[in-house]
A and B are shown apart, each in its own frame.
Chain A
Amino acid sequence: MHELSLCHSIRTIVDEARSGRRVLTVHLQVGQLRQVVPQTLEYCWGLVTQDTPLDGSELAIDHVPVVLDCTACSQTTTVEHHLVLTCAACGSGAVHLRSGEEFMVTSVDVVPRDAAAADPSPREA
């Protein structure tokens, strides 16, 4: 639902990181608790980058599942589908969230300046 505004934030981050270079791929970490629909994010990325220097770049999304550490019984629960945030072993709600809230641009793949300056047509070095 809010993927469009998230894409604006991603664009701002990527624009700074690329330092004028062409971007091929933007690598993201998205935790399951972020309520982001990957297909919608990719669609919005296309809208937000259209007719900009980032046009044609792609998002590569690394999904991070919710992992809970139970403070009651010390067991670890990996939540895959249903977002029930309780310990699978003992049912306690006293859990520490180890992962699942990530939402980060980890890296961008850019065309190096020397490669971009060369003849744009593919050529063996």
Chain B
Amino acid sequence: MGRFHRHDGLGEHTHDGDEHDHQHDDHSDGHLDSHHDAGAHGDLSGYETASERVSVLERIFDENDRLAAANRALLDAHGVRCVNLMSAPGAGKTTLLARTLRHLADRGIRAGVIEGDIETSIDADRLAGLGAQVVLLNTGDGFGGECHLDAPMVARALTRLDLSTLDLLIVENVGNLVCPAEFDVGAHDSVMVYAITEGEEKPLKYPVMFRSVSLVLVNKLDLVPYLDVDLDLFRRNVSQVNPAAAVMEISARSGEGLETWHDWLLTTHTHPRTGIGTPQ
């Protein structure tokens, strides 16, 4: 799974602050585990009201992760696989998806798309009429203009899809190389689209994003003749931050390389129940 794995356990590292001297074994419900830390009273000397330190030890992403797990369980219950598709703005996610949805429809795969955008239905409109259920999530509309999709937003979008008639769901995240990598939305896998116009150094500048995916699609290959692009250098940079990631070169515009991506999608993420995901 291409998820971002967190290691929030205390005691696995050393750091400068020494105030966290409580030791706890299991904190699934840590906020009930309050300690009256005698030391803390003494620390705040002088004018301030005596304080009491309450141990919390709760991961800030816990709430999102719980909902993401619930999303995944709901999808699993319906036999729907889900892929979270991320990229910088303009890397070509929507152009690629339009191609991919046509291919999936031709193969009899019932696809759905959750289209995340801060504003407008432009991308969702581009994906209409391609045989997929498309749900638009405008994060500027009631979600505070968020720069990413999170599990609660996707949970709401899921209620607007008929999961019983879907095989594969693609979440097109908000175009952004930072925030979407931090939020598990409940997908089974994460894929990113990188356009060769972005520069070979991007994996080093956005390592968290490149570490969070299992596949990097290198898009706009049709522009190679017009650019000074070093694809070997890009691949080396990807493997520096994520040695396990697969890298595929494509052009969503010309169609070059798309069969490799489609085969990967079908073999990795088509539910065996349908028996129609096997490449010929």
Interface residues of A (CB under 8 A from B): 1-2, 4-6, 9-10, 12-14, 16-19, 21, 24-25, 27-29, 33-35, 62-65, 67, 82-86, 93-94, 97-99, 101-112, 115-116, 122
The reply to whether A2 and B7 form a contact with Cβ atoms under 8 Å apart is no
Within 8 Å by CB of A104, from B8, B144, B176, B178, lies: B8
B156 interface residue, CB < 8 Å from A?
no
Q: Please list 11 pairs of residues, one from A and one from B, whose beta carbons are closer than 8 Å in the complex, sorted by A's number.
A: A1-B176, A2-B178, A17-B56, A25-B51, A35-B178, A62-B16, A93-B239, A101-B5, A106-B56, A107-B20, A111-B52
Cα–Cα, bound, A13→B31 (Å): 8
Closest to A122 in B: B47
Instruction: Known pairs A101-B4, A107-B55, A115-B50; list 4 more (Cβ under 8 Å).
Output: A85-B241, A104-B60, A105-B56, A106-B20
Within 8 Å by CB of B31, from A17, A99, A111, lies: A17
Within 8 Å by CB of B49, from A6, A35, A67, A111, lies: A111
Contact flags (1/0) for B161-189 with A, using CB distance below 8 Å? 00000000000000010110111000000
Cα–Cα, bound, A47→B237 (Å): 38
**Neighbouring B residues of A82 by C-beta, 8 Å:** 204
Once A64-B13, A64-B15, A97-B7 are accepted as A-B contacts, the answer to whether A104 and B54 lie under 8 Å apart by CB is: no
Once A13-B31, A17-B31 are accepted as A-B contacts, the answer to whether A6 and B60 lie under 8 Å apart by CB is: yes
Once A103-B6, A111-B51, A115-B49 are accepted as A-B contacts, the answer to whether A93 and B58 lie under 8 Å apart by CB is: no
Cα–Cα, bound, A97→B212 (Å): 13
Contact flags (1/0) for B53-71 with A, using CB distance below 8 Å? 1111111111110000000
Closest-CB distance, B47 to chain A (whole angstroms): 6
Within 8 Å by CB of B179, from A2, A104, A110, A112, lies: A2
Contact flags (1/0) for B189-201 with A, using CB distance below 8 Å? 0000000000000
Cα–Cα, bound, A85→B55 (Å): 32
Cα–Cα, bound, A110→B243 (Å): 45
Within 8 Å by CB of A86, from B50, B211, B240, lies: B240
Interface residues of B (CB under 8 A from A): 4-8, 10, 12-13, 15-17, 19-20, 22, 31, 34, 40, 44, 47-64, 144, 146-148, 150, 176, 178-179, 181-183, 204, 207-208, 211, 239-243
Closest to B146 in A: A5
**Neighbouring A residues of B6 by C-beta, 8 Å:** 101-103
Once A9-B60, A93-B241, A115-B49 are accepted as A-B contacts, the answer to whether A103 and B54 lie under 8 Å apart by CB is: no
Cα–Cα, bound, A34→B179 (Å): 9
Closest-CB distance, B20 to chain A (whole angstroms): 5
Closest-CB distance, B7 to chain A (whole angstroms): 5
Cα–Cα, bound, A9→B7 (Å): 18
The reply to whether B148 and A2 form a contact with Cβ atoms under 8 Å apart is yes
